[in-house]
Amino acid sequence: MMKDIAERLSQKPFTPHPALRNAHAQTIVGSLIRRRVPLLESNTEPRLFDVASNARVLAHCSWQREARSRPTLVIVHGLEGSSISPYMLGTAEKALRAGFNCVRLNVRNCGGTAHLTQTLYHAGLTDDLRAVTGELIERDRLDEIYLMGFSLGGNVALKLASEYAADAPRALRGVIAVSPSIHLSICARAMEMRSNALYQMRFLRALRRSLRIKARLFPDRYDASLLKGIKSIRQFDDTYIAPHWGFRDAEDYYAKASAFPLIGRVKVPTLILHAKDDPFIPFSQFEEVEENPSLLLMAAERGGHVGFIARAGEDRFWYETMTAQFVRLTSRCQTEVCA
Domain residue spans of the chain:
2-182+260-330, 184-257
241: pLDDT strictly greater than 80: yes
* β 45-52/55-62 pair status: antiparallel
- pLDDT tops 70 at residue 26: yes
Looking at residue 311, its pLDDT comes to: 83
Helix, strand, coil in percent for the chain, rounding step 5 = 45, 15, 40
pLDDT at 332: 82
Mean pLDDT, rounded, for 245-269: 97
The fourth-level CATH superfamily of domain 2-182+260-330 is Alpha/Beta hydrolase fold, catalytic domain (3.40.50.1820)
| Mean pLDDT, residues 213-222 | 98
Q: What is the mean pLDDT of residues 3-29?
A: 94
Query: What pLDDT does residue 289 have?
Result: 84
The SS3 assignment for 104 reads strand
| pLDDT, tens digit, 9 for 90 and up, residues 297-335 | 999 999 999 999 998 766 899 999 999 999 999 998 744
Q: Residue range 147-153: average pLDDT?
A: 98
Mean of pLDDT values over 27-36: 95
Q: How far apart are the first and last CA of the chain?
A: 16
Q: Is the pLDDT score of 63 beyond 60? A: yes
**Strand, coil or helix: 327:** helix
Average pLDDT over residues 180-191: 98
Q: Taking 90 as the threshold, does the pLDDT of residue 57 lie above it?
A: yes
* Confidence check: pLDDT of 237 > 90: yes
Grouping H, G, I as helix, E, B as strand and the rest as coil, residue 210 is: helix
Is pLDDT above 70 for 123? yes
Per-residue pLDDT for 338 more than 80?
no
pLDDT-based confidence at residue 339 (cuts at 50, 70, 90): very low
CB 241 within 8 A of CB 188: no
